[in-house]
């Protein structure tokens, strides 16, 4: 890079020597922050209009800059923007091209503004757009699960703890258990938005804007921000909104991974409860009979990637001093990657859930009488016997059935009365799994009414979003 080339940089006046080409490549961020071109142009156009109030720009000059930036934006949109060797980032690239199009008046645009407050503004604007898109995708997934739960509410199968058959539940209840995790993710995403929607523009490099008449509240309104950063030093260095977003994607990824793990198990030949559509499965290169749940395995694997982005960036910011430091350039790649990865994960998860089929017969066949041992204990509770005693009695019944090599439901009334005289003829109704699930009718239970109540709440949650479709 020549001495003359270094003088063309926005910061080149102080420097007389050429930049090492390796340092230039090490320092540049345009290769990835160019995706914020639209936000950078919107922010610059709003700032140009704000400079009218400071007396820095006339209305004619401001409109000339705004129109010039429209031309720059069209070049990005049409794929004709030509990146030059000295373009370090999206800000310098856009300003360089603006000057080529409209001349020296473009040099007034950066008055009172720093790349420090500019990049923070661009990132927040970009992320606000992405949050809206993520909210819609997540809402679609939740709705898909809620609708399946309504349609398939009558299917009953084993619920598991420790991967051991535990109690009968509705398949719909299982789906909604995962939807409940996603519902909290939706709440968290909506709660995050106001903390992202804080305007840094006007903070300057760190000490604030020195020109009287700059109306930051009007700038915030023009750019769609909820509030204005109250401290200029904080505004240029704050990346908590990035960390929170990475935390959110990590937690969402964990929840999608849990869903994927369950569906992988349930789709195995040993279970056979679920079959993935061909659109979300792959085959083996050597075993023709295989149908691999690669979509789910990738969902499970991507959760590690999302957490890695969070952990890496946390290490980047944990020890830097106040205000802007170049370490903060490490914010964009993990943020962009995590948002892209999460977007793809939500689309794939929705595709899997909406197209998979279930085998109701296999589900029903997997129910066994021993799963109703707690119901047997509850039966005696209704007869007035303390649960600690009934639990012991039910355990004795399980032991008796094991000794005889029969199912728990094969024990006769006389067998049960030998354990406790409170058993009566109606005890035989305990062995109906349909009645078992219906008895669990409290809020959050697996009865039909309780499940439909969960569905209603999910619909209401999704529809409550200001930014949801």
Q: Which residues are catalytic?
A: 162, 284
Token pair for residue 462?
């999704």
Exposed / middle / buried, residue 294 (Cβ in 10 Å: 0-12, 13-18, 19+) = middle
Is the Cα torsion angle 457, 459, 463, 469 positive or negative in sign?
Answer: positive
Contact of 350 with 147, CB cutoff 8 Å: no
Token pair for residue 129?
């757009």
In this structure, which long-range contacts are made by residues 179-182, counting pairs with CB atoms below 8 Å and at least 24 apart in sequence?
179/142, 179/145, 179/146, 179/149, 179/454, 179/458, 180/454, 181/255, 181/258, 181/259, 182/138, 182/141, 182/142, 182/145, 182/252, 182/255
Is the Cα torsion angle 124, 126, 127, 128 positive or negative in sign?
Answer: positive
d(CA 264, CA 274): 9
d(CA 444, CA 454): 7
Token pair for residue 70?
């429209």
Token pair for residue 276?
């993935």
| Closest to 258 in 3D by CA, of 227, 299, 228 | 299
């Amino acid at each position: 890079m020549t001495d003359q080339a270094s003088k063309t940089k926005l910061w080149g006046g102080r420097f007389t020597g050429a930049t090492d080409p390796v340092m230039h490549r090490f320092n540049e961020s345009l290769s990835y922050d160019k995706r914020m071109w639209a936000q950078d142009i919107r922010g610059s156009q709003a700032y140009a209009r704000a400079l009218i109030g400071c007396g820095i720009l006339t209305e004619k000059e401001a409109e000339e800059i705004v129109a010039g930036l429209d031309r720059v934006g069209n070049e990005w949109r049409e794929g004709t923007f030509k990146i030059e060797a000295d373009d370090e980032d999206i800000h310098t690239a856009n300003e360089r091209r603006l000057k080529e199009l409209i001349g020296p008046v473009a040099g007034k645009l950066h008055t009172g503004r720093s790349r420090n407050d500019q990049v923070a503004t661009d990132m927040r604007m970009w992320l606000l757009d992405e949050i809206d898109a993520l909210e819609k995708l997540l809402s679609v997934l939740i709705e898909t699960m809620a609708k399946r739960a309504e349609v398939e509410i009558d299917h009953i199968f084993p619920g598991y703890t420790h991967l051991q058959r535990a109690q009968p539940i509705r398949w719909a209840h299982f789906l909604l258990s995962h939807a409940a995790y996603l519902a909290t993710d939706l709440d968290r995403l909506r709660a995050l938005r106001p903390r992202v929607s804080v305007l840094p523009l006007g903070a300057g490099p760190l000490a604030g804007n020195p020109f009287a008449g700059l109306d930051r509240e009007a700038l915030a309104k023009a750019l769609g921000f909820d509030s204005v950063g109250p401290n200029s030093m904080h505004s240029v260095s704050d990346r908590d909104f990035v960390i929170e977003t990475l935390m959110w994607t990590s937690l969402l990824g964990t929840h999608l991974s849990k869903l994927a793990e369950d569906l992988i198990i349930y789709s195995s030949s040993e279970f056979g409860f679920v079959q993935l559509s061909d659109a979300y499965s792959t085959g083996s290169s050597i075993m023709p009979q295989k149908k691999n749940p690669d979509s789910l395995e990738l969902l499970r694997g991507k959760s590690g990637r999302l957490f890695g982005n969070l952990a890496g960036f946390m290490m980047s910011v944990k020890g830097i001093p106040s205000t802007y430091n170049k370490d903060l350039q490490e914010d964009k790649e993990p943020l962009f990657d995590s948002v892209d990865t999460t977007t793809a994960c939500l689309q794939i998860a929705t595709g899997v859930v909406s197209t998979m089929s279930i085998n109701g017969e296999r589900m029903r066949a997997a129910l066994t009488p021993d799963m109703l041992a707690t119901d047997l204990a509850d039966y005696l509770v209704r007869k007035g016997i303390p649960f600690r005693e009934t639990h012991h009695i039910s355990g004795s019944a399980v032991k008796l059935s094991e000794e005889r090599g029969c199912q728990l439901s094969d024990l006769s009334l006389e067998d049960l009365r030998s354990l406790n005289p409170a058993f009566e003829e109606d005890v035989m109704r305990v062995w109906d799994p349909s009645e078992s699930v219906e008895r669990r009718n409290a809020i959050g239970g697996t009865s039909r009414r309780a499940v439909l109540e969960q569905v209603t709440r999910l619909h209401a949650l999704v529809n409550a979003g200001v930014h949801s479709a």
